[in-house]
Structure 1
Amino acid sequence: MAFRVAARTILELGAELISSDATALYELIKNAYDARSKRATIAITTVFKYSHLRDTLRRIEQAQKTVARQGADAAVLADRILQDVLSKIDESAPEHVRQEFIARVSQQSGLLSLAEALKAAFDDLNTIAVIDTGRGMTLKLLDEVFLTIGTRSRLDPSDDGRAFVGGKGLGRLSTMRLGDHLTVETSTRGERHWNVLQIDWRAFTHESAVSLDKVTVQPRQGDLKTDATVSGTTLCINALKADWDWDRVKRLTDNYFDRLFDPFHGYVRYPLVIEVNGRRIPIPTFAREVFAAAFARGSIRYDIDPVEGPGLTFDIEYLSYDRRKTEFWSREDILGVTSKDDVSVAAMESLGPFKADFHWFNRQKIKGIDGVGDRNKIRDTVNQWANGLMMYRDGFRVNPYGNPDDDWLGIDSRALSSSGYKVNRKQLIGAVYISATENPHLIDQTNREGLRTNEEKTLLVLLLRKALTENFKDFLNSVEAEARKKAHVDVQEVSNFLHSTAKKVSDDLSTLRAVVPAEKRGDVDYLQGAFQDMETRLKNSRDALVSAERQHRDLVDLAGVGLQVEIIAHELGRVTRQTLDTIAGVDRAHIPKSVAAAFDAVESQMRIMRKRLEALDPLGPNSRNRAEKFDVRGLARDIFASHSDRFARLGIEPELDLGDAGSQAYEVRAVRGMIVQVLENLIDNSIFWLRQQKRLDPTFVPKISLQIDAAASELRLTDNGPGIPRERAEEVFRPFVTFKPPNEGKGLGLYISREIAKRHAGDLYLLDNPDARGRLHTFVLSISGQ
């Protein structure tokens, strides 16, 4: 037994699978490139529009009903319709085509015959020819390759080392989208004849009940070639299914064909000629000089090191402020980014190297560029091209990424859900660059509408999304914040300076008036009046500066409230996750001793959360966090005990070093719940990254240790996970810096913990004791509680 394939399957793989005429033509252009043609030519002949054809056939049908019902003169109605048809002929069509069309429709006097003649003339005389001068096909190849759906002929390496941009063996079916009839004329160098294949796609419609093997399509030998050295292929498509007049093709060219090939790096793009009725349509090019108006730019490089594994380098330049930053994401960082998605460690290498480049524009502040255009022209160019990142494989575009309606990286959804709408698609012009050789798992969907969803594509999206919507945006914000801080005016200092200056000038003028001759005192009085007016203006300026600083403080307070909300959300999320883990780990039948300690820890954290919430409520009592004296060793013992089941479940080996029994006591006066909060955050972070290391190496034995040094008033938490790069030792304590996925944290835990330590006259930092790879593994919490 074997599958039986219905003939209409061809329809579903061709006309119904390809979503647009532009995509269909793009597939045929790629075929020309793969055939090693030096150029592709699309020659369109249109004498009568498809929309006019449909309207005319409908009008004829209505006229036939009128004749049947009312006995109207069919010949008169037919003549009226004929005159309307003749008035709608495209005058730009070649003369011989127009004359043949006129002759074929004018010979008919009846309604039915006019309809038949009009349809036949339209099908025959409106054509799309896709012409290449590539290698062509022999009669055998035409039979065995062109007529094989899903052929592997382009999956095998090419003999010239150049990658094929097609590979599914389905591209030729896109002709079905454009028209119902196809004629293939092809030949290889050295052959004496053309090889011809004709296909009527209407044999594969849904109305056809026959199986595919019952539809006969037979290539044959065609006319004798005038030059045996000529090679190439012409696909002539008739019985078109859309309008192909100059205006429509021009719109397609301006909005689609201008970005078929990488426009940004100045490479020579694949030559493409588009003609309508012999008139060539120019294909616009992107003016790379527009990048001079960009406010920032970024460059992403993903590589696979044979020793260190995958890594991503992200170069950012905020051109308006002349600030630069280079980030490197190690394999361990990437593990964190992918922790909540279906991405294996193997996919991090099988993804293969890729790169992305982009420019960011502040459209409200765009300026003109000498030699390119004024502000409006630059802004129009940005509006036309800024739709997020496009994608190119070996120089050819992968659709639909970068289309106006395609937010494949979720940039706008992130921008709309955050403050400022800082980075959105309408501000970004750029592209991602992949290759068939380096990225074999980034495969097009059969409908050519994006990449097939798999682990490699998921990883690509996750990395690009984080780079753009988090790291790039955060860098812009931090640079702007620093600039605002430097530009901030010390109101009191300026006010005192202005007041003292004005007073000194007034005193000097009074002295001057007393010593000058009487005839000059009028001049002095004028100067004194002018300076009194200036002093009034200075007073107004002082008042304005005081008001501005007051407003600034209000904004800072408001921002503080916003940050506090973020902190509360972070803590609620963390506590909820740990509470669920604690409950999940409890043996309901036999409650272990660790439960009491676990609930103590949770209760302490929840008390802190309640007080944070009360602090935000302007109508409620602003209760204080009361400090108490307690033993740090006992607290550490309780916290580790509360995690014992969790450690066991995750295979983590804990080690608690309370110091020598005879050493001095380690008692502090502090807010107990806050210290619990710091230690819980550190333990949560360690567990998260230990789990990522386990993904990388299934034989890995995770370990976590807490050491107490009473003499130094320090707690040291160490794990054997991936660690933190030495150069990022301070950055991790900034708010919103994280390599965890969005649902795992907001990058506030370490920021909060350090603030708590400082509140208790202590500090939280990474011990500068790097391993062989330059990564740090120990957090030090110094707390004296004084």
Structure 2
Amino acid sequence: MAFHISARTILQLGAELISSDAVALYELIKNSVDAKSKKGVSIEFDIVIKDSDYRSAIELADRDGTPAQRRDAVRSALLASILGTAPDPQASQFRQAIEAPTTLAKLLDVAEQAYRQFNTITVRDWGHGMSLADLKTIYLTIGTTSRAAEVRKALKGGATSTPYLGEKGVGRLSVMRLGHRLRVETATASDDAVNVLDIDWRKFEEADDLPATSVIVEPKKGGPKGSDESFTRLFISDLRSTWTAEAVEAVMAKQVVRMMDPFSWTGRRFPVRFLFNGEPVAKERSVSAELLKNAHAKCSGMFKVTEEGAISLTIEMESLLYDGPKQILKFDKTDLYPMAGLKDAGQPFSVLSSIGDFSFEFYWFNRQRIKAIPGFDRAEVLSLVNAWTGILLFRDGYRVIPYGDEGDDWLGLDRVALSSSGYKLNTKQIIGRVRIGRLSNPKLLDQTNRQGLIENPTKLALTALLNHLIQKWWRGYLTEATRAKKSGDKASYDSQGEAGDVKALQKRAETSLKSIGKGYTGDASHLQEVQDAFLEIKDAHRRAIQHIEEIEDQKERLTQLAGIGLMTEVVAHELTRATEDTLKTIKAVPAGSLDAGTASALKTLSKQVGVIKKRLRALEPLSIPSKQRRSVQDISRIVSYVLEGHASQFERHGVSVVTNCDDVGTVNAFVAEGNIVQILENLINNSIYWLDVWREEWPNHISGITVELLSNPPRIAFSDNGPGIPVERERIVFEPFFSTKPDSDLRRKGLGLYIARQSAEMQGGSLRLSGEGEVRPGRFNGFELELKEGAGQ
């Protein structure tokens, strides 16, 4: 047995699978590109009569009157409805066909045939064409592998550009979405005659469940052609849709202009010409470079995979609106693995490599701040932004549909914007593109229905990565840029100095009025009015100063509230961590009597709760933040019980721990015990996370943590053999809210190391990175916590 393909299947692969007329036209344009058409492609809409006018005329056959009267009414309406722009000979042939019938029934039959025949779409290209054998063995073979084989050959051979845009062998069927009848005229340079193929797709509808082979389609030789001439012409009739000049222009403006990378301003673009009844339909086919140059912010970047397997992402951000300094961030494989959502999804590191090289450019526009730019007034700028918003995906310079269409949110930006405050980085504010290639990104393939990429781990990793960099890094950059801008724009207003200036001006005015009064012979009340007016101005100025001082006082209160807000973030961070560790500790407590390990775990828990309690007290209104009391403590004892409390966690994660606590003896330091516990807990949790990430890439890796106590001054050296921290992040890792973990892991929002350093400084000590290059080149794999030995130091 074998599968039997019904005639109906052909329709499902063509008219029913292709989602829109625009997609069908795009498929035909790509076929012309693949044919290496030297003059591009021409798509001609020749419409003799509009569908609405045709149907209105036919409805007159059901009106009152004799058959002859109704015939004449229908005929007159049809002839009157012929478009003035209708091309010849179609218009003349349509008119002749309508004038000939002598009966109403014949007229209705002829009118239907003429309407189907003379409203046409013609697609012309000047590519390599097809021979008679090509029509039989390739064009009429659904799912032919002729182009796919060439693409596979290019992939294996290490080619840099793909030989074809299409390779599934079903794109040619998109023509049936446009019309029920097709005539193909084509020839190669070596042919001496035109090769012709006529297809009536309605016959496949009529055949229904019969085998597809029951509908006979036979190519044949046509008339002679010119020497060395090659071409393909598709004549589509019996159209499925209503086409007007406005409809063609809308398809051109909303779809076709986006089909080829509109961000490319250099080099020759593949010519695509649309004509309606012989008149060109012209639309701007590229985004204005001036518009993008005046974008309020820009984010661009490159994702690279080397032959050696190294993976990197470099992003560059800048803001014209907020004068934000250009910021460049670099991420490596270890950073990108969780950022792409692969750690949470349990996917291997190989998925990251399978993405392949890609680049992107995003331009952000704050609609409320849009203004005129050179060559465009404000209304025109808004119109351009509306026309081009969305993030488009291009493969080898040609668009992957439907990404970037109105209402499409393939990166999930709108969903996040609706649920967040601050900057709304949504599809209505961003003009952008992502560029991939068939050979550089072989796992990113189109669905057969042309409705985006096939859902697979590679595609999900790509979208997660782009979403993360926009919502976390770019959004964070804009937030910081506007904060810096507002801070820099604060004008210092010296109210006392201003009051002194007004007083001096008053004295000058009084002196001038006295001088004027000595020689003034007019009404003295006029001079008094001037003096009174000045006093009113002075009083108004006094009230303004008073109001400004009130605002300054309110601003100071808001600043204090902002500080409380940040402290709330800190407390929330610590409370979350303590809660998580509490659950872990409780789960680790064995049934029965409390052994030494359990007692140590509970002691760790009590210290954590103590830290939280003191942090919470700092939020009490009008209270002075309580200081954690410091005393001389044996830090080797603290380190020992903290590590012992994590023993079960280390075992679960396969982490071996080496420490000199038992060998070094007593190491005293002047500290608050709770703060030291807090710092160690953060370092341990970070290590566990990144050691897990490292082991995903290197399954045979033996994870290890080393904690060494040093004297003179007292220090704790903490290190692991995980991925480490790049040297260029030596400063930024200690800043609040910095984290390369994905959103699902950002329960603490990057506050951990910031709080750890703050806690160290509260002890009069310091926390810094250490061990550069000792485990991984160009990376820190350790921290050194330096403390004070006594109260007087």
TM-score class, shorter-chain normalisation, is 0.7 to 0.9
326-335 or 636-645, which moves further after superposition? 636-645
1:673-695 alpha-carbon deviations (Å, 9 max, x no partner): x5433322221111111111111
1:628 deviates by: 7.2
Give the conservation status (yes or no) of the 8 Å contact 2:24–2:177. yes
SS in 2 for 1:130: strand
Alignment partner of 1:747 is 2:750: yes
Alignment partner of 1:132 is 2:135: no
1:570 deviates by: 4.1
**Which residue of 1 is the match for residue 637 of structure 2?**
634
Alignment partner of 1:289 is 2:290: yes
**Which residue of 1 is the match for residue 702 of structure 2?**
701
Structure 1 residue identity aligned to 2:442: P
Alignment partner of 1:352 is 2:356: yes
Alpha-carbon distance change, 10 to 560 in structure 1, aligned in 2, over 3 angstroms:
farther
Alpha-carbon distance change, 613 to 633 in structure 1, aligned in 2, over 3 angstroms:
same
**Which residue of 2 is the match for residue 208 of structure 1?**
208
> Sequence identity of aligned pairs in percent?
35
Alignment partner of 1:663 is 2:666: yes
Structure 1 residue identity aligned to 2:420: S
**Which residue of 2 is the match for residue 455 of structure 1?**
457
Alpha-carbon distance change, 662 to 738 in structure 1, aligned in 2, over 3 angstroms:
closer
**Which residue of 1 is the match for residue 715 of structure 2?**
714
Aligned residue among 756, 773, 780 for 2:777: 773
**Which residue of 2 is the match for residue 419 of structure 1?**
421
Distance 1:613 1:12 in 2: 65
**Which residue of 1 is the match for residue 6 of structure 2?**
6
SS in 2 for 1:3: coil
Alpha-carbon distance change, 190 to 495 in structure 1, aligned in 2, over 3 angstroms:
same
**Which residue of 1 is the match for residue 477 of structure 2?**
475
378-387 or 343-352, which moves further after superposition? 343-352
**Which residue of 2 is the match for residue 386 of structure 1?**
389
Alignment partner of 1:235 is 2:228: no
SS in 1 for 2:95: helix
Distance 1:138 1:727 in 2: 61
Give the conservation status (yes or no) of the 8 Å contact 2:668–2:714. no
Structure 1 residue identity aligned to 2:356: G
Alpha-carbon distance change, 184 to 726 in structure 1, aligned in 2, over 3 angstroms:
same
**Which residue of 1 is the match for residue 365 of structure 2?**
361
Give the conservation status (yes or no) of the 8 Å contact 2:7–2:207. no
Structure 1 residue identity aligned to 2:131: T
Alignment partner of 1:220 is 2:224: no
1:243 deviates by: 1.0
Structure 1 residue identity aligned to 2:444: L
Structure 1 residue identity aligned to 2:345: D
Alpha-carbon distance change, 58 to 596 in structure 1, aligned in 2, over 3 angstroms:
farther
**Which residue of 2 is the match for residue 304 of structure 1?**
305
Distance 1:729 1:530 in 2: 63
1:55 deviates by: 6.3
1:748 deviates by: 2.3
Give the conservation status (yes or no) of the 8 Å contact 1:502–1:531. no
Distance 1:450 1:184 in 2: 29
Distance 1:327 1:446 in 2: 37
Alignment partner of 1:676 is 2:680: no
Alpha-carbon distance change, 528 to 583 in structure 1, aligned in 2, over 3 angstroms:
same
SS in 2 for 1:256: helix
98-107 or 355-364, which moves further after superposition? 98-107
1:582-605 alpha-carbon deviations (Å, 9 max, x no partner): 566667799986444445444554
Distance 2:588 2:214 in 1: 65
Distance 2:350 2:485 in 1: 43
Distance 2:583 2:406 in 1: 43
Structure 2 residue identity aligned to 1:135: H
SS in 2 for 1:154: helix
SS in 2 for 1:249: helix
For structure 2, which runs of at least 5 residues remain unmatched after alignment? none
Give the conservation status (yes or no) of the 8 Å contact 2:671–2:763. no
1:27 deviates by: 0.4
Structure 2 residue identity aligned to 1:457: K
Structure 1 residue identity aligned to 2:139: F
Give the conservation status (yes or no) of the 8 Å contact 1:163–1:437. no
1:505 deviates by: 7.1
Structure 1 residue identity aligned to 2:393: M
Alpha-carbon distance change, 722 to 498 in structure 1, aligned in 2, over 3 angstroms:
same
1:353-401 alpha-carbon deviations (Å, 9 max, x no partner): 111122222222222223x1212111211121122x2111111111111
SS in 2 for 1:156: helix
Give the conservation status (yes or no) of the 8 Å contact 2:618–2:625. yes
Give the conservation status (yes or no) of the 8 Å contact 2:664–2:709. no
Give the conservation status (yes or no) of the 8 Å contact 1:651–1:702. yes
1:165 deviates by: 1.3
1:693-750 alpha-carbon deviations (Å, 9 max, x no partner): 1112122111112333364343332111111112212212222221111110122222
Give the conservation status (yes or no) of the 8 Å contact 1:300–1:315. yes
Distance 2:574 2:703 in 1: 25
**Which residue of 2 is the match for residue 119 of structure 1?**
112
Give the conservation status (yes or no) of the 8 Å contact 1:391–1:432. yes
**Which residue of 2 is the match for residue 148 of structure 1?**
141
Aligned residue among 319, 324, 327 for 1:325: 327
Give the conservation status (yes or no) of the 8 Å contact 1:655–1:706. yes
1:161-201 alpha-carbon deviations (Å, 9 max, x no partner): 65311121111010111111121111100211111122222
SS in 2 for 1:425: coil
Give the conservation status (yes or no) of the 8 Å contact 1:187–1:195. yes
1:195-250 alpha-carbon deviations (Å, 9 max, x no partner): 1122222233397011233333222222222x131111111111111012211101
SS in 2 for 1:32: helix
Distance 2:458 2:499 in 1: 67
1:613-644 alpha-carbon deviations (Å, 9 max, x no partner): 787688x9999686476654333323222222
Alignment partner of 1:189 is 2:189: yes
- 1:446-525 equivalences in 2 (<5 Å): 446-489=448-491, 494-499=494-499
TM-score using structure 1 length: 0.88
Give the conservation status (yes or no) of the 8 Å contact 2:614–2:628. no
TM-score using structure 2 length: 0.87
1:5 deviates by: 2.2
Give the conservation status (yes or no) of the 8 Å contact 1:757–1:781. yes
For structure 1, which runs of at least 5 residues remain unmatched after alignment? none
Structure 1 residue identity aligned to 2:41: A
SS in 2 for 1:426: coil
1:33-62 alpha-carbon deviations (Å, 9 max, x no partner): 0000020110111123345556666776xx
SS in 1 for 2:43: strand
SS in 2 for 1:705: strand
Give the conservation status (yes or no) of the 8 Å contact 2:60–2:73. no
Alpha-carbon distance change, 742 to 187 in structure 1, aligned in 2, over 3 angstroms:
same
SS in 2 for 1:302: strand
**Count of equivalent residues:** 769
Alpha-carbon distance change, 621 to 358 in structure 1, aligned in 2, over 3 angstroms:
closer
1:397-430 alpha-carbon deviations (Å, 9 max, x no partner): 1111111211111222222322223422222212
Alpha-carbon distance change, 195 to 207 in structure 1, aligned in 2, over 3 angstroms:
closer
User: Considering only aligned residues, what root-mean-square deviation do their CA atoms show, in Å?
Assistant: 3.7
**Which residue of 2 is the match for residue 276 of structure 1?**
276
Alpha-carbon distance change, 75 to 714 in structure 1, aligned in 2, over 3 angstroms:
farther
Distance 1:26 1:667 in 2: 73
**Which residue of 2 is the match for residue 102 of structure 1?**
95
Alignment partner of 1:552 is 2:555: yes
1:779 deviates by: 2.4
Distance 2:687 2:677 in 1: 15
Alpha-carbon distance change, 506 to 59 in structure 1, aligned in 2, over 3 angstroms:
closer
Structure 1 residue identity aligned to 2:460: T
**Which residue of 2 is the match for residue 254 of structure 1?**
253
Aligned residue among 621, 644, 647 for 2:647: 644
SS in 1 for 2:344: coil
Give the conservation status (yes or no) of the 8 Å contact 1:605–1:677. yes
633-642 or 156-165, which moves further after superposition? 156-165
